[in-house]
Amino acid sequence: MHSQLVKYDNEQALDECLQQLQHYPSLVSIKEIKTLKKRVKQATLGGRFIVQGGDCVEMFYDCNENVINNKLQSAVLVKSLFEVLTKKPVTFIGRIAGQYTKPRSSLFQTINGEEMHSYRGDLINSADSCVEKRKPDPKRLLAGAHHAAMTLNYMRTTLASSEQSFSLDLFPWVKELTHELELDAEAIQQNYAQGRKQSLIDQDEFELFTSHEALNLHYEQGFDKEGKDGLKYNCSAHMLWIGARTLTQDNPLVHYLSQIENTIGLKVGPDIDPEDLIKIINTLNPNRDLGKLVLIGRFGVSEYQSRLPKILAALNEADIKICWLSDPMHGNTFTTTQGIKTRCFNTMLSESSGMATLLDQHQNHLGGLHLEFTGCAVTECINGHFVVSEQDLHKNYSSAIDPRLNQQQFVEFILRMAKHIQSFEAFDYCEDQFAQELFTSYRQDIDDIDDHLINLLATRRKLSRAVGELKSALNINIFDPKREKQILVELIEKGQAKGFNQQWLERLFLEIFQDSRAIQSAVPGSLKTVG
């Protein structure tokens, strides 16, 4: 297999584009990259589950509100359902905002008698079957950055906006699924019925992370930024992964990734030699940072049982603790008799659930899933409760490369995996050192939340003082018992929906109100009656 590096004909045009790319601002922040590393570490230690997913390859054409929204809604839904069922926090990492390249086994192909470059993703060339358009075009590096920025911006604003409520009502079929799977539908419904807008998430609760396959070194290096710590970060995405076809010690991509701080995924297929894998792991993560690497097993349903134990033994021998995700997609692709590339839901589920069981039997655990899905109602993979049959495949097959789970199949997959994982014994913290690390990590999160609370209270105080000044100018009493009572009732209702006790909520907010009144009393000319 070749290294998949891209060669451009016009060096000067490439240089101009690279200069422009290096001049562009970051797409993601170093702080977010560090947060993802914390999350991956928690998953490695058994305290979190990762769902990584999105299209096999994103087309620039997919940079569209509807497509992005459907994907985001699916992600919010599975996070929320998995958390209710397993009580384990979920981190979503999109294959999005940069998943614009594909490795190809052959870099050239012949179409209608003409030899041309194979389509390698919108970041490199056009999918049109035209010799000229198939040539790698460096301007596409810039177009990739623009599309990634728009996609990210739309996701961030959508998540932050109350316009878009992520309500369970949007997915009426989830009820049928929970019934079919005999899941605790009551708990799920209740969880959502409580929020006033029946939103699946609260603002701020959904941490958005992006990832893509590192393939085009020009694009990746264009986003290198130096952190305050003097270390190098790739600010095009929070996480990058190396595909199964490019995972060799001598690939320049491996060398590049060894120099950056981001979390790196390694696609581990049936052909990998465990000793080679250990060498690559040591190259990429000499400091054994638990948030640095994830192994994404994509063995195929008939291979994982014979391959995985050998790798686990080698990792054990080398004393390497690492987070495992299961990618049940790439080892289970087949072509139907009609010549359509597809994957079967049941086969994929067998690989992922089997891998989870096998890891459990080896005193390890599955840290997450890596799935190709779209939020749209495509018919690309067969089976699932809302059956897609081989005859249905032609109805809405729009993937440019690999077949994806549609929204219902994606949610069903996650629900079935949640149920399967629930059946294991409670996570066994047999290794004290790891329990201690997880404990420290959770405590850091609590410290961060406390910082956030202090900042919010300080912002509230500033506003309160401004209101105090206006009250003084307008000759309004500082103490307004009617308003206090009314907002307290509303806060208690919201707080109780989250499981807080009424008296505690009263005590908390009365303290805050009292502080507010004290601040307002200090305003010259204020009316300090009662309070």
Smallest distance from the beta carbon of 154 to ligand PEP, in angstroms? 23
User: Measured between alpha carbons, how far is residue 142 from residues 13, 102, 316 in Å?
Assistant: 12, 17, 43
Q: Which is nearer to Co ion, 18 or 56 (CB)?
A: 56
348, amino acid identity: M
- At residue 25, φ and ψ (nearest 5 deg) are -75, 165
Residue nearest to Co ion (CB): 56
DSSP 414-462: HHHHHHHHHTSPSP----HHHHHHHHHHHHHHHHHHHHHHHHHHHHHHH
- At residue 263, φ and ψ (nearest 5 deg) are -65, 135
Residue 212 interacting partner from ligand PEP, Co ion, none (CB closer than 5 to 8 Å by kind): none
Residue 140 interacting partner from ligand PEP, Co ion, none (CB closer than 5 to 8 Å by kind): none
Indicate whether 381 belongs to the interface with Co ion (CB under 5 A).
no
Do 275 and 248 touch, CB atoms closer than 8 A?
A: no
Residue 375 interacting partner from ligand PEP, Co ion, none (CB closer than 5 to 8 Å by kind): none
Q: Which is nearer to ligand PEP, 265 or 354 (CB)?
A: 265
Q: Which is nearer to Co ion, 32 or 213 (CB)?
A: 213
DSSP 434-446: HHHHHHHHHHHHH
Smallest distance from the beta carbon of 270 to ligand PEP, in angstroms? 11
Q: Which is nearer to ligand PEP, 56 or 63 (CB)?
A: 56
Tokens of 476: 């309004």
Smallest distance from the beta carbon of 303 to Co ion, in angstroms? 17
Residue nearest to ligand PEP (CB): 243
Residue 244 interacting partner from ligand PEP, Co ion, none (CB closer than 5 to 8 Å by kind): ligand PEP
Q: Which is nearer to ligand PEP, 53 or 195 (CB)?
A: 53
Tokens of 277: 């894998």
Q: Which is nearer to ligand PEP, 168 or 280 (CB)?
A: 280
Q: Which is nearer to ligand PEP, 32 or 327 (CB)?
A: 327
Residue 41 interacting partner from ligand PEP, Co ion, none (CB closer than 5 to 8 Å by kind): none
Euclidean distance between CA atoms 40 and 294, whole angstroms: 8
Euclidean distance between CA atoms 491 and 493, whole angstroms: 5
Euclidean distance between CA atoms 100 and 148, whole angstroms: 9
Q: Which residues are near ligand PEP by CB under 6 A?
A: 56, 103, 213, 243-245, 267, 298, 330
Residue 39 interacting partner from Co ion, ligand PEP, none (CB closer than 5 to 8 Å by kind): none
What mask of x and - would describe binding to Co ion in positions 388 to 427, judged by CB under 5 A?
Answer: --------------x-------------------------
Write down the number of H helices and E strands in the chain.
Answer: 15, 14
Give the gyration radius of the chain's Cα atoms.
26
Q: Which is nearer to ligand PEP, 244 or 293 (CB)?
A: 244
Smallest distance from the beta carbon of 258 to Co ion, in angstroms? 24
Interface residue with Co ion, options 14, 18, 56, 67 (CB under 5 A): 56
Smallest distance from the beta carbon of 278 to Co ion, in angstroms? 26
Q: Which is nearer to Co ion, 327 or 437 (CB)?
A: 327
Residue 245 interacting partner from ligand PEP, Co ion, none (CB closer than 5 to 8 Å by kind): ligand PEP
Smallest distance from the beta carbon of 251 to ligand PEP, in angstroms? 12
In the 3-class helix/strand/coil scheme, how is 223-274 assigned residue by residue? CEEECCCCCEEECCCCEEEECCCCCCCCCHHHHHHCCCCCEEEEEECCCCCH
Residues 6+ apart with CB under 8 A from 442: 42, 47
Smallest distance from the beta carbon of 267 to ligand PEP, in angstroms? 4
Residue 32 interacting partner from Co ion, ligand PEP, none (CB closer than 5 to 8 Å by kind): none
Query: Which of the stretches 53-61, 143-151, 192-200, 433-441 binds Co ion when contact is defined by CB under 5 A?
Result: 53-61
DSSP 8-state class, residue 528: -
Residue 492 interacting partner from ligand PEP, Co ion, none (CB closer than 5 to 8 Å by kind): none
Binding residues for Co ion, how many (CB under 5 A)? 2
Q: Which is nearer to ligand PEP, 326 or 353 (CB)?
A: 326
Of the candidates 347, 317, 353, the residue with the CA atom closest to the CA atom of residue 332: 347
Q: Which is nearer to ligand PEP, 56 or 293 (CB)?
A: 56
Residues 6+ apart with CB under 8 A from 59: 100, 122, 127, 400
Query: Which of the stretches 50-58, 155-163, 380-388, 416-424 binds Co ion when contact is defined by CB under 5 A?
Result: 50-58
DSSP 81-112: HHHHHH---EEEEEE-SS------S-SEEEET
Euclidean distance between CA atoms 530 and 361, whole angstroms: 67
Euclidean distance between CA atoms 232 and 235, whole angstroms: 9
Q: Which is nearer to ligand PEP, 300 or 531 (CB)?
A: 300
Query: Which of the stretches 32-40, 54-62, 270-278, 379-387 binds Co ion when contact is defined by CB under 5 A?
Result: 54-62
**How far does CA 226 lie from the centroid of its chain?**
24
Q: Is 28 helix (H, G, I), strand (E, B) or coil?
A: coil
Smallest distance from the beta carbon of 300 to ligand PEP, in angstroms? 11
Angle, helices 345-361 vs 407-422, to 10°: value is 30
Residue 365 interacting partner from Co ion, ligand PEP, none (CB closer than 5 to 8 Å by kind): none
Residues within the interface to Co ion (CB under 5 A): 56, 402
